């Protein structure tokens, strides 16, 4: 486990405790499939914050074991649900646990294994399909969820700093599928499964999104209207999705949520919460913030102006970034097409405490813009 500064120890102790998790993270963990009762039981058992990933991984192992037992007994529905919940446990354990990359990656690999087990229990019509897209001599890994009707639009989900396609990406896919959208979720450079083969670089992440669209145009999967493509991203993805849309006119509209729109050099990086400073060095593969700066010192105003419609949510109580209103205003000033800001003064990062309002509005907006 990496040696931490006193400031980092304080930050991690503050985040990984029961009272803080109740306040900040329950909405997020519930969103990607953790049962509320299990969530409370596991968090209550974590007496030492350094054990966060270890305890959640053990819980995932137990849920996975129960799923295997259910499968052996012929309870296919129970087994599939529990394999998905094991994914959620593993993801909760590795999420923002940047202090031990070996432990983090091992737990994340268990999430991928459990997700594959869950997918083996789907019927062919509703099963997310694994796709590996060529990109710079390696592959962008992702999953395609097909709508149950022909000629529907495609939504591409752009990951944040520490999402994985098997957890939050799967949940988003279920939500969009119910509304009649085709949906693609992937791990880009520095994210999830792709982290081991290529690290994050904000300067050209948009080329990975364009490579995804290129693949769809080359393969032409049936039932997808590639004239109607939308992007959606939360957290770091809330910056990456609009920025990618600005570079690629094939994207017709974008929703971003809580995007960090500029860094401001090394001073800006050092103003981030220490946990996310660790995230910066982790996804870039660098040892220090100074070394990571070239790959992470971005500004939305350096990108081409966005001309397609944008719906942007931002949170007034965002604990990830300083001065969230400045980020929201900067995004709105940069977007030169139709741009709508939903600034929620009392919301926390990714508007997690207002998702009952955010998700329906987001769906309605995509339905209007992509003409469903």
Last residue of a domain, one of 68, 84, 119: 119
**pLDDT number for residue 183:** 98
Residue 345 forms part of a structural domain: yes
**pTM for this model (two decimals):** 0.95
User: What is the C-alpha to C-alpha distance for residues 215 and 152, in angstroms, rounded to an integer?
Assistant: 17
Residue 278 forms part of a structural domain: no
Answer yes or no: do 59 and 138 share one domain.
no
**Contact by Cβ (8 Å): 300, 333:** no
Taken in order 81, 85, 86, 87, the sign of the CA dihedral is positive
Structure tokens at 94: 């590795």
Residue 133 forms part of a structural domain: yes
Residue 205 forms part of a structural domain: yes
* pLDDT, mean of each 10-residue run, the chain (372 residues): 72 64 71 88 87 96 98 98 97 92 97 98 95 98 96 97 95 95 98 98 98 97 96 97 98 97 96 90 97 98 97 92 90 97 94 92 97 82
Answer yes or no: do 152 and 176 share one domain.
yes
Residue 283 forms part of a structural domain: no
Answer yes or no: do 237 and 111 share one domain.
no
**pLDDT number for residue 14:** 64
**pLDDT number for residue 10:** 67
Answer yes or no: do 137 and 115 share one domain.
no
Answer yes or no: do 207 and 351 share one domain.
yes
**pLDDT number for residue 179:** 95
Domain enclosing residue 166, as ranges: 129-262+298-369
Answer yes or no: do 11 and 155 share one domain.
no
Last residue of a domain, one of 119, 152, 182: 119
Distances (CA, A) of 38 to 5, 44, 115: 32, 10, 19
Domain count, the chain: 2
Answer yes or no: do 92 and 183 share one domain.
no
**pLDDT number for residue 17:** 64
**pLDDT number for residue 3:** 75
Question: Residue 74 CB: number of other CB atoms within 10 A?
Answer: 8
User: CATH code at 258?
Assistant: 3.40.50.1820
Residue 164 forms part of a structural domain: yes
Answer yes or no: do 106 and 162 share one domain.
no
User: CATH code at 56?
Assistant: 1.20.1440.110
Answer yes or no: do 96 and 49 share one domain.
yes
Residue 279 forms part of a structural domain: no
Answer yes or no: do 115 and 135 share one domain.
no
Torsion of CA 74, 76, 78, 81, to 10 degrees: 150
> Containing H/E element for 119?
helix 101-119
Map tokens 């990618």 to a residue: 244
Last residue of a domain, one of 119, 143, 176: 119
Residue 234 forms part of a structural domain: yes
Answer yes or no: do 41 and 140 share one domain.
no
Q: Cβ neighbours of residue 234 under 8 Å, at least 6 residues apart?
A: 160, 163, 168, 256, 257, 258, 350
Answer yes or no: do 193 and 304 share one domain.
yes
């Amino acid at each position: 486990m990496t040696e931490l500064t006193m400031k980092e120890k304080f930050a991690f102790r503050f985040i990984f405790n029961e009272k803080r998790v109740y306040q900040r993270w329950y909405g997020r963990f519930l969103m990607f499939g953790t049962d509320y009762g299990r969530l409370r039981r596991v968090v209550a058992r974590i007496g030492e914050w350094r054990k966060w990933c270890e305890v959640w991984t053990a819980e995932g192992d137990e849920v996975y074991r129960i799923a295997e037992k259910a499968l052996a007994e012929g309870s296919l529905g129970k087994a599939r649900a529990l394999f998905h919940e094991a994914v959620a446990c593993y993801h909760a354990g590795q999420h923002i646990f940047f202090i031990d990359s070996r432990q983090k990656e091992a737990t994340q690999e268990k999430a991928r294994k459990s997700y594959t087990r869950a997918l083996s229990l789907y019927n062919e019509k509703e099963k997310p399909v694994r796709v590996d897209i060529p990109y710079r001599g390696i592959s962008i890994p992702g999953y395609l969820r097909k709508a149950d009707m022909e000629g529907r639009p495609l939504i591409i989900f752009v990951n944040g700093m520490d999402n994985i396609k098997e957890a939050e990406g799967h949940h988003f896919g279920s939500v969009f599928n119910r509304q009649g959208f085709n949906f693609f979720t992937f791990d880009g450079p520095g994210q999830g499964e792709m982290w081991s083969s290529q690290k994050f670089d904000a300067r050209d992440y948009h080329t990975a999104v364009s490579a995804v669209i290129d693949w769809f145009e080359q393969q032409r999967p049936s039932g997808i209207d590639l004239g109607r493509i939308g992007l959606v991203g939360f957290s770091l993805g809330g910056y990456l999705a609009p920025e990618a849309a600005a570079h690629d006119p094939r994207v017709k509209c974008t929703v971003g949520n809580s995007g960090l729109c500029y860094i401001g050099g090394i001073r800006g990086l050092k103003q981030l919460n220490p946990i996310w400073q660790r995230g910066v060095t982790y996804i870039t593969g660098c040892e220090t913030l100074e070394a990571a700066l070239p790959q992470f010192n971005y500004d939305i105003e350096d990108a081409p102006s966005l001309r397609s419609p944008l719906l942007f949510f931002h949170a007034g109580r965002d604990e990830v970034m300083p001065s969230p209103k400045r980020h929201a205003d900067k995004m709105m000033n940069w977007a030169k097409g139709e741009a709508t800001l939903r600034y929620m003064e009392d919301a926390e990062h990714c508007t997690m405490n207002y998702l009952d309002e955010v998700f329906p509005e987001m769906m309605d907006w995509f339905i209007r813009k992509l003409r469903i």
